[in-house]
Amino acid sequence: MVFQTPDWVKHAVFYQIFPDRFARTQRSVTDPAMAVALEAWESPPTLFGYKGGDLWGIAEQLDYLVDLGITAIYLTPIFQSTSNHRYHTHDYYQVDPLLGGNQAFVDFLAAAHRKNLRVVLDGVFNHCGRGFFFFNDILENGPHSPWLDWFKVKNWPLSAYDGNLPANYQGWVNNRALPEFNHDNPAVREYIMQIGEHWIRQGIDGWRLDVPYEVETAGFWQEFRDRIKALNPEAYIVGEIWTEASPWLDGTQFDGVMNYPFTGATIAFAAGDRVRMDLVEIPHYFPYPALDAPGYAQKIQRLLGLYPWEAQLAQLNLLSSHDVARLYSVVGDDEASVVLATLLLFTFPGAPSIYYGDEVGLPGELDPDCRRTFPPESQWNQRIVQLYRQLINLRHRYPALRTGTYGVVYAEGETYVFTRSLDSDRLAVALNTGTAPIGLTTDTLLSPGATPDPVFAYGGASWDPHKLHLPPRSGLMATL
C-alpha cells in the first residue's frame, strides 16, 4: 500500500477560526434566527454567551486572509448546536442558524474557493448534543424509542439534566450534555459515514476529526478514509490526537494529526522558564519543563522519526488553539518567545496553523479567555503582524521550507541551528534562546564554501560569510 497525503496540504498555511468570535457580517440580516440579543463584541468571552460571529462575516474578511498569505481555513464546528463552540451537535446536515444557516455556508465556501482557499470542517463524530433528534427521542419515549441502540444506555430512567441523579447513559468524559454514539451499531456507523460524504460532496476540502481516539470500533476510521478518499482523493483527514500518533498514521486512517508534541517542545525551548505554569498544567501538551538546545533537538528528532515522511509533511503544526491558552499569554507576554516559537513553526515540516488573532498578538488565558473576539486593527501588535507576514512569505517563497529534509547541525547550550534542503534550495535557521550572546564560525556549522545570505533576522542576529552572530534571544534564517 502506498501512503499518499494531499499535496496541497504540504504547501498550505492554515488559519483556524472559531466562528462565533471572528467577524459579524456587515450585511443587513433579515433572518429572525439571527436577529437576537448578543454579548457585546468587545466584552470578555463567557462560557455560554454568543458574540454573533457568522460565516458571511468570515467571507467578508477573506481578502485579509489572502493578503496575509493564508491558503487554507479550518473552522471549528459549524453545525446546529446549543453552545457557542458547537461541539454539542443537534443536526449534522444543518449549519447553525446564528452562523447564517446553510445558505451562508454555501456563500462562504464559494467565496473561499474563488480565492483558492481550502476549507476544512470539524467533524464531531464521537458524541452529539442532547438535542440531537435520535437522542431526544429517547428522552421523550424512554425504552420505547427506536433509537436506543444508537447510544450507550445503561439503565432507566435517563437523567439528562439533573446532576443529583445518575445519568444512566454514557456521555463523553461523563458529561451528560454529550451523549456518546454506539459506533458498534451498523446504523450509527453508516449515518456518520454518510455525513462525512455529504459535506465532501458539498465541496469541503477535508475533515478535522474531534477526539477520534475515543472511537474504538474496529475498522471505523479505515472505512471513513476509504469513503472520503473515494469522493475526493485530495481531501485532508486530520485527527485531534494530543500524543504520539503512530497507530493513526499508518496510511489507512488519517493523513496527519494536530501536532501537539511539536507545540509543547517548541514553546518549552523558545520560552524556557518564562512559561506561565498556571496556563499549561491542565491541557496535556507539556510546554514545560524548559528545554535547552540539546533537549529540543532530541525531542524534534524523535518526533521526526515517528511517522512516515508522507505523514510528517501533512501534520497540522500549531502554537495555540481553542483548547489551550494563547501563545502570547503562555509565554508571559514575552515578545521574543513569540517570535522564536513562530520562526520554528514556519520552518518545520508539516502545515503551519495560525489560531485566529495570534498573528496580531491577541492574548488569551484558559477557556473561555482563549476564545476572545478578533480585535480591531487599532489594537493589533504591528510588530507581530509583520513577523507573520514575513515568515509566511518566506515559506511560500522557498520550497525547502515546505517539503525539504530537516537536519540538525548544531545544538549546544541555548543555541540551535538546523537546515532545510530540497535539491539546490537550501536554508539554515539559527536561534539563541539564551541570555548571553553567541558567535560561531561558519565552518563550524556548514560545509566549506557555504555562503549564508540572511533573509530573516530578529534581535540583531547576523551572519557574515565567516561568522554567525546571535545576540541574546535572537533568531535568523539564511539561504545557502
* pLDDT digits 0-9 by tens, 376-428: 999 999 999 999 999 999 999 999 999 999 999 999 999 999 999 999 999 99
pLDDT of residue 320: 98
Please tell me the CATH code under which domain 403-479 is placed: 2.60.40.1180
pLDDT over 80 (residue 149): yes
pLDDT over 90 (residue 450): no
Judge whether 240 counts as a catalytic residue.
Answer: yes
Place 29 in a pLDDT band, splitting at 50, 70 and 90: confident
> Which is the catalytic residue, given 54, 205, 240, 292?
240
CATH number belonging to the domain at 7-126+183-397, selected among 3.20.20.80, 3.40.50.800, 3.40.50.300, 3.40.50.720: 3.20.20.80
Q: pLDDT of 333-370, one tens digit each?
A: 999 999 999 999 999 999 999 999 999 999 999 999 99
pLDDT of residue 200: 99
pLDDT over 90 (residue 30): no
The arithmetic mean of pLDDT across residues 224-251, rounded, is 98
pLDDT over 80 (residue 1): no
> Which is the catalytic residue, given 96, 210, 292, 359?
210
Q: Is 219 exposed, middle or buried (0-12, 13-18, 19+ CB in 10 A)?
A: exposed
Q: pLDDT of 294-312, one tens digit each?
A: 999 999 999 999 999 999 9
Cα torsion 275, 276, 279, 284 to 10°: value is 40
Question: Are 340 and 429 contacting, i.e. CB atoms less than 8 angstroms apart?
Answer: no
Locate 67 and state its grid cell: 493578503
pTM of the model: 0.97
Question: How do the domains of the chain map onto residue ranges?
Answer: 7-126+183-397, 403-479
